[in-house]
Structure 1
Amino acid sequence: MSREFDVVVFGATGFVGELTARYLAHHAPAGTKIALAGRSEGKLAAVRDRLGGAAADWPLIVADADRPSTLDAMVARTQVVCTTVGPYLRYGESLVTAAASAGTDYVDLTGEVPFVRYSIDKVGDTAVATGARIVHACGFDSVPSDLGAYGLYRKAQEDGAGDLGTTTMVVMSVRGAASGGTIDSMRVIAEQARDSATRSMLLNPQALSSGPGELVRVDRRSEPSDAALVRASTVDPSLRGTLAPFFMSSFNTRIVRRSDSLLEYGPDFRYGEAMAVGSIPVVSTIASAVVAAGLGAGLGAMSFAPTRKLLDRVLPKPGEGPSEASRDKGHFTVQTYTTTSSGRRYRSRMSAQGDPGYKATAVMLGESALALALDRDRLPARSGVLTPAAAMGDALIDRLRDAGFDIDVAEIG
């Protein structure tokens, strides 16, 4: 595909948008054609000046989510559009439609189930027809989750170990802050959840893997709960204590189940997520209960107008984020466990330095965009509304390893 640019970063004047642009400026291969896009040419120029070096000559594109014609013009010029402009339910529909119509690959950071469902229903067929890869959730939500399960699937295939059975990702350690954009997305979802149809979608564990023409292989009631406390030894005999709910599991699990629907991990594949809070049984059980209660109270407060106004005063706003020193101190480690249909146990692991929602996310999003733009001969011949695993799989794993992520898959037991 002959386009003027390899990658356009839309939303480059935002906090995470600039972090992503900075990552590309320092790590994209020489000769990669990149442009910055946003509503204000002046602000874009200021970002470009701060980036310096390789970005000094990057073109600037004025485009506005509220002016669809500018988005049409922008996506027609690039192989890949990389967008950080959220909440995507509020600002993303016109851009994903433009990308699908133009046959332009698309990556974003959404953690919004209704937005991904919108893409599947409204632009999925168009993207298949034009050859566009629409890839949502290319940051901490949900690359570690999606590639963790995918890595197990590939290893089991290579070993002839059969299909994946019950699979659980455990957040072993994490240090970082929720981004202002993530908080704003939660505000929008809380507002939309007042609608009964949206609420039903959010509660459906297969919201992104069941729909017109999509095969559902398992009873939705058999999927693990997103809110339950989990005895660690039921995930794998090597684990101890009680696991707490992970606050992004209600989105991540839907993305991984969509990967299963596209790649077919196995007829008995079930997927859940949890978070380690200690290995001492009594202490971890109390801590897990506190985490679960806190998550419930937080979601309730976010959906209730008076308490939401109070939270708005203290929670980060879109465009805000921690200092560079704080971002550098962040880190995460996740481990995903499965038992295959032949009874063999496997574990995948991903860890990285840097605040998961900011520094590490900029790496994941930037490398996703580069994989789509530069590794096209390695990508599966697949188009439509995809997931990181289904769209990029091994190519993205290799890129993240080269970027300093520790990723491995091994048989255990």
Structure 2
Amino acid sequence: MAEDARTYDLVVYGATGFVGRLLAGYLAEHAPPEIRIALAGRSRERLEEVRRALPSGGRDWALVEADSTDPASLDSLAGATRVLVTTVGPYARYGLPVVEACAKAGTHYADLTGEVLFVRDAIERCDAVAKETGARIVHACGYDSIPSDLSVFLLGRQAAADGAGGLRDVQLIAALRGGFSGGTIDSMRAQVEALQADPARRRVVGDPFALSPDRAAEPDTRQPRDAGMPAQTPDGRWTAPFVMAPFNTRIVRRSNALQDWAYGRGLRYGEVMGTGRGPLGAVTAAGISAGLLATVSAMSLAPTRALLDRVLPAPGTGPGESVRENGWFRMVVDATAEDGRRYRATAAGSGDPGYKATAVMLGEAALALALDGDRLPDRAGSLTPATAMGEVLVERLRAAGHTYEVAAV
């Protein structure tokens, strides 16, 4: 379809959900007035409610009814817009028909998934089609996994510019303050259920190169474990397993492979959560490790999963405004290049990372796809934030108040 035949520049699908509302609010405040935006979801009544609550910039946006269980409605929606951004998860349950519709229509797509199995399935079903139609299918455009992906992108580029060779050992230490996400919990639950339905897929989840475009071409490089016990860094900081590491690390490795291993064939990349120094840091690390193990174990059994459902946040819910406003994230990524030189990248921002900060990340990613096409890398297919938008997205996020820095150390 010709670009001038599209009715909209950007559609927010799932606008009535918790994150969808935050994203719509961000775009209403920050999108240029000339961009044609629509809100999409199953209920027109609820869409009208969302629109009435928006800042003035979004109160005349169009409304479109669409349902992930109705392929015809998704085909119509994808064909009507240049960019579709979706917050409808868990993506393993609801996402594949949306990706398929966008790939077929040549519509650029962005989501917030943190689900390895969903991304693997989307690659297998839609990558080739999207390459033919020119669609950029960009997964992981929120706190999963933009800070990780762009930090390593900047590190790799700096090491290459300095003639230091590829990256060798890279570790991200995350620190954050924020609330619990009902959507994230539901995504974890959906992945556990998928593994129980098909135990053979455990090999996919456990493979550090599960999202590689060419698994056989990946180097035989031992990767850091995604889960483990509390540990201490050489400078005395305590760390715990990072719940997002099993997804983020695979996105970063896919970015490396999609760029012909531009970060280095011997890249070893891992992520942990920083918990501080001294006895308090050690106790916090132990508590996080035990809590994460207990949650995953409880989700694996139907009776305990039912008990968790009573106490964990429900899908479509999230923290209150005070928590969202007072949250923050800071990710420090240390890297050693092949010639021994060391670099450090920092990604940071204000606001609850899974909500307020994610609305900024997803909003700017959507605007980059809609407005900056002539400056984006010449790629199509199943992509990552770094390979689809790279420096353009870094510039947008810096302008939005987030920090992305890299320096030799």
TM-score, normalised relative to structure 1: 0.95
Tell me how far 1:388 sits from its aligned partner. 0.4
Tell me how far 1:215 sits from its aligned partner. 4.9
Structure 2 CA distance for aligned equivalents of residues 241 and 26 of structure 1: 40
Q: In structure 1, what is the equivalent of residue 76 of structure 2?
A: 73
Q: In structure 2, what is the equivalent of residue 290 of structure 1?
A: 287
Q: In structure 1, what is the equivalent of residue 228 of structure 2?
A: 228
Decide which of 155, 158, 178 is 2:158's aligned counterpart.
155
Tell me how far 1:151 sits from its aligned partner. 1.0
Structure 2 CA distance for aligned equivalents of residues 227 and 286 of structure 1: 17
Q: In structure 1, what is the equivalent of residue 8 of structure 2?
A: 5
Q: In structure 1, what is the equivalent of residue 336 of structure 2?
A: 339
Secondary structure of the residue aligned to 1:86 is coil
Q: In structure 2, what is the equivalent of residue 34 of structure 1?
A: 37
Q: In structure 2, what is the equivalent of residue 301 of structure 1?
A: 298
Q: In structure 2, what is the equivalent of residue 256 of structure 1?
A: 252
Decide which of 306, 311, 315 is 2:308's aligned counterpart.
311
Q: In structure 2, what is the equivalent of residue 82 of structure 1?
A: 85
Q: In the TM superposition, what whole-angstrom CA distance separates every residue of 1:18-66 from its partner, at most 9, and x where no partner exists?
A: 1000000000112111100000111111111100401121000110001
Structure 2 CA distance for aligned equivalents of residues 205 and 80 of structure 1: 30
CA contact (8 A) 2:110 2:141 kept: yes
Q: 1:216 to 1:279 in 2, by over 3 A?
A: farther
Q: In the TM superposition, what whole-angstrom CA distance separates every residue of 1:159-198 from its partner, at most 9, and x where no partner exists?
A: 2221111111111x21111211111111111111212222
Q: In the TM superposition, what whole-angstrom CA distance separates every residue of 1:256-297 from its partner, at most 9, and x where no partner exists?
A: 1111111211111011001111222x6544443332222111
Aligned CA RMSD, in angstroms, stands at 1.4
Tell me how far 1:217 sits from its aligned partner. 2.7
Q: Unaligned regions of 5+ residues in structure 1, if any?
A: none
CA contact (8 A) 2:209 2:218 kept: no
Secondary structure of the residue aligned to 2:180 is coil
Tell me how far 1:233 sits from its aligned partner. 3.8
Q: In structure 2, what is the equivalent of residue 364 of structure 1?
A: 361
Please tell me whether residue 207 in structure 1 is matched to residue 205 in structure 2.
no
Between 1:387-396 and 1:198-207, the stretch displaced more is 198-207
Q: In structure 1, what is the equivalent of residue 220 of structure 2?
A: 219
Secondary structure of the residue aligned to 2:277 is coil
Structure 2 CA distance for aligned equivalents of residues 209 and 232 of structure 1: 30
Structure 1 CA distance for aligned equivalents of residues 162 and 55 of structure 2: 47
What code does the residue aligned with 2:107 have? T
Secondary structure of the residue aligned to 1:76 is helix
Q: In structure 1, what is the equivalent of residue 97 of structure 2?
A: 94
Structure 1 CA distance for aligned equivalents of residues 200 and 217 of structure 2: 20
Percent identical residues: 52
Structure 2 CA distance for aligned equivalents of residues 313 and 260 of structure 1: 41
Decide which of 133, 146, 156 is 2:136's aligned counterpart.
133
Secondary structure of the residue aligned to 2:119 is helix
Secondary structure of the residue aligned to 2:15 is coil
Q: In structure 2, what is the equivalent of residue 393 of structure 1?
A: 390
Structure 2 CA distance for aligned equivalents of residues 378 and 230 of structure 1: 43
Structure 1 CA distance for aligned equivalents of residues 219 and 285 of structure 2: 28
Structure 2 CA distance for aligned equivalents of residues 285 and 18 of structure 1: 38
Q: In structure 2, what is the equivalent of residue 122 of structure 1?
A: 125
Tell me how far 1:232 sits from its aligned partner. 4.6
Q: Unaligned regions of 5+ residues in structure 2, if any?
A: none
Tell me how far 1:248 sits from its aligned partner. 0.9
What code does the residue aligned with 1:20 have? L
Structure 1 CA distance for aligned equivalents of residues 347 and 170 of structure 2: 15
What code does the residue aligned with 2:348 have? S
Between 1:94-103 and 1:270-279, the stretch displaced more is 270-279
What code does the residue aligned with 1:93 have? L
CA contact (8 A) 2:12 2:85 kept: yes
